[in-house]
Amino acid sequence: MLPSEIAVHPVDYLDRLGTIFARFTTQDSGNFSYGVETADTRYFVKTAGDPSDPTPYLDFDDRVALLRTAVELARSVQHPALPTLHAVIESAAGPMLVYEWRDGELLGPPATRERFRVLPADEILTVLDTLYELHARLDEAGWVEGDFYDGAMMYDFGTRRLTVMDLDTYVRGPYRNTMGRMFGSERFMAPEQLALGAPIDSRTTAYVMARAALVLLPDPPAPLREVLVEATTTRFPSYSAFYDRWLTASATTSAC
């Protein structure tokens, strides 16, 4: 059993729990995360990093707030693409989120993305179906996309399993763009994510998910391409409208 609270520093606790075999301590986010191996399992443990470090864009309290959002998201939606959140351990350095460790390669770096894009179309479509089904569950639970890009996806090329992580900047319910150019990769962002005051809602989620397919699938079959083009030009009124059309178009495609 993992405790709900510790009195020592996260790293000291993790050193006692098992062996730290991976460190993610140079992220732009300011978060520090660790891969930890115990006698019977591997964990991915995420923390808000150094409370006294002033360099990250978000200060410590804001980083902690995003981790609390990640906890709410993990507790509201279960899906095979999401690593299980086993525990949240409170410490003087904020919460430690103890997730299941997932093997896989981030699709963010260009070389890995290219390796992914040359896979058979069916394999890529299976991954997109998983991504879209996950977002249908998230959308039903009220979650609206925030800062999604290919670096939030890991793919295990051997087992063909997709993992989606780092959804900490998703927001429950529609919100407004208070930044102008919001965080994110412009290859994925919807126009409203660049416009101060614009509403961000499930239509935005639909746009960003369509962009994901356009980035990851080099040559979509015509019925799917039509749905993706519509999602990024005239737009769909909601994520579920996009998803319904995607499922219908997929059924046509696989019948060919």
Q: Which is nearer to ligand ADP, 74 or 144 (CB)?
A: 74
Q: Is 166 in the site for Mg ion (CB under 5 A)?
A: yes
Q: Is 147 in the site for Mg ion (CB under 5 A)?
A: no
| Smallest gap from residue 195 Cβ to ligand ADP (A) | 25
Q: Is 192 in the site for Mg ion (CB under 5 A)?
A: no
Contacts with Mg ion, 219-248, as mask; x by CB under 5 A: ------------------------------
> Which range binds Mg ion by CB under 5 A, 69-77, 105-113, 120-128, 165-173?
165-173
Q: Is 150 in the site for Mg ion (CB under 5 A)?
A: no
| Smallest gap from residue 1 Cβ to Mg ion (A) | 29
Q: Which is nearer to ligand ADP, 102 or 235 (CB)?
A: 102
Closest residue to bound Mg ion by CB: 166
Full 3-state SS string of the chain:
CCCCECCCCHHHHHHHHCEEEEEECCCCCCCEEEEEECCCCEEEEEECCCCCCCCCCCCHHHHHHHHHHHHHHHHHCCCCCCCCEEEEEEECCEEEEEEECCCCEECCCHHHHHHHHCCCHHHHHHHHHHHHHHHHHHHHCCEECCCCCHHHEEEECCCCEEEECCCCCCEECCEECCCCCCCCCCCCCCHHHHCCCCEECHHHHHHHHHHHHHHHCCCCCHHHHHHHHHHHCCCCCCHHHHHHHHHHHHHHHHHC
